Amino acid sequence: MRVKTSGTDEFWIRHGFRGGISEALETFASFLAATQPVVPAEPERELTEAENRLLDQGGFPRPQPDDQGSAGSEISILAVSYAEMCAQALTTKEAAGLLQVQPSRIRQRLGEKTLFGIEKEDHWVLPRFQFVDGQIVPGMGKVLQVLDETLHPVTVERFFATPQPELYADEVGRDLTPREWLQAGYDPAPVVRLARDL
């Protein structure tokens, strides 16, 4: 595969990969190393135009149909989701600034599993789904502590963004996502139970 080099460093730096194309490639490599058994939540979905543009701008080829059906497309969708999550995530220093604590406190909470982080070559990044209005989503730490450490980061993010029948809220008349449930101040116990079963 030949990767375009023109302008790609600037593109990836703008999207949170401070090391440019080399860091983006390392991210994709670590994603692929950790991803053989993952089943995407939407196996029939094609890449959107925005996702295709992201691949084009980053110098990556668009997925092509192959004899094995949509398997290549599924991995591409998952890879794009992972890259977007990492690009938008906070560094430990940024998370510390957001929460008005020292970076050492963020590292401590990562160790306690009360914050969710993705370990890169020489630093951590913290996906944004766990933060709201300059703070950690209420009850998030209790849920994160019971998650299986082998879960793929995209699986974790999708869990918090997927409505669950067990989280029906009479006040709004619909199933809430785990993140919405916690953010609204409901008891985190049902979300903890769901997280244990992932």
Per-residue pLDDT of 56-92, as tens digits, reads: 766 667 766 554 455 567 788 888 899 999 999 999 9
Q: CA-based angle 167:85:183, to the nearest 5?
A: 30
How many residues comprise the chain?
Answer: 198
- Token couple for 109: 């909470």
Residue 109 pLDDT greater than 70, yes or no: yes
Contact 156, 178 (CB under 8 A): no
Q: Among 19-28, 113-122, 172-181, which stretch is predicted with the lowest mean pLDDT?
A: 19-28
* Listed residue (131, 140, 124) closest to 98, CA to CA: 131
Range of the structural domain that residue 55 is part of: 8-88
Residues 97 and 190 in one domain: yes
- Identify the pLDDT of residue 39: 47
Percentage of the chain modeled with pLDDT above 70: 75
d(CA 60, CA 78): 14
Query: Does residue 27 belong to any structural domain of this protein?
Result: yes
Mean pLDDT of 35-54: 61
- What average pLDDT does the structure give for the chain? 82
Q: What is this structure's pTM?
A: 0.66
Query: Does residue 121 belong to any structural domain of this protein?
Result: yes
For the chain, the domain total comes to: 2
Residue with tokens 């909470």: 109
Residues 107 and 188 in one domain: yes
Residue 163 pLDDT greater than 60, yes or no: yes
Residues 188 and 110 in one domain: yes
Q: Point out the domain boundary residue: 88, 119, 146.
A: 88
Residues 107 and 34 in one domain: no
Query: Does residue 143 belong to any structural domain of this protein?
Result: yes
Residues 183 and 172 in one domain: yes
- Identify the pLDDT of residue 23: 73
